Structure 1
Amino acid sequence: MSSDPPGFELPLRLMLAFRTLIDELHAELARQGHPDIRPMHGFVMQAIGRDGTTAVELGRLLGVSKQAAGKTIDTLERIGYAERTTDPEDTRRKIVRLTPYGWDALNRSAQIFDTLRARWAAELGADRLRALEADLRKMTPANPWRLDTPGWFGNL
């Protein structure tokens, strides 16, 4: 009998690690003045990016319908993270941009993730964490920015 865990435990542990980090991130974001931001909003705000985007393009990037993207934009507008503006090159188009509050949330997220990583390094050992990260890079696609995760999970 093998002492290896069953194969299904690996994806569950990876997902649980992801969930643990995201839950800790959002608890800290709430403490730092962002209580309304939700995990899916991070994917959306990353997809909006520095230059902004349209609802159609956002839906494509996220792997969801234009309507689902539009609902999420509505939510982000309501809680102050995004705004719709008129495209200066085509007044019929609306561009979604992050507000300063949205940029603050993304910047704080990056800092919090660095803190969480440092805590993992302290707990596991820096060499073991670097080895884990190297192994995950070996086993996953080169580009870690898969913004279509919301569409893969279902809908926003």
Structure 2
Amino acid sequence: MHYWLMKSEPEEVSVDDALAAPDATVPWTGVRNYQARNFMRDHMRIDDGVLFYHSSCAEPGIVGVARVASTPYPDPTQFDPKSPYHDPASKPESPRWMLVDVQVLRKTRNLALPELRADPELQDLVVLKKGNRLSITPVEPAHWRRILKKLDAKT
């Protein structure tokens, strides 16, 4: 089993939007970075753990716990000329961009960046590394356990 941190801008898809979707499941569309795509395409498996992270907002942070709910499949937005994620170079017979479905299991308090950074046990968490801008990053099992502990603590 693997663990992931997946960033979404709340205006695009928030944790509340995902919870309101059928089966609390949304397709993770719009990934246009090869490394993030490769994580989904080559490494994600159904039931892998996901930390749902709001980015590009007033207080970025982890706002939910989710799971990978599908195997990878072509992102349909790459073929839609009306989509901001349209990629005219991608062809249906050889799609460039993939996605997985993500099912939110529970909404959490916002575990914001300052609190993540303040925890010495999380100093190597990829999302905290200087210059990291990937929308999908792997999470070490020890980091996963520590974050879940922090989210479950009564604060």
What TM-score does the superposition give when structure 1 sets the normalisation length? Answer: 0.29
Structure 1 or 2, whichever has the larger Rg, is 1
Q: TM-score, normalised by structure 2?
A: 0.29
Q: Point out the structure with the larger helix share.
A: 1
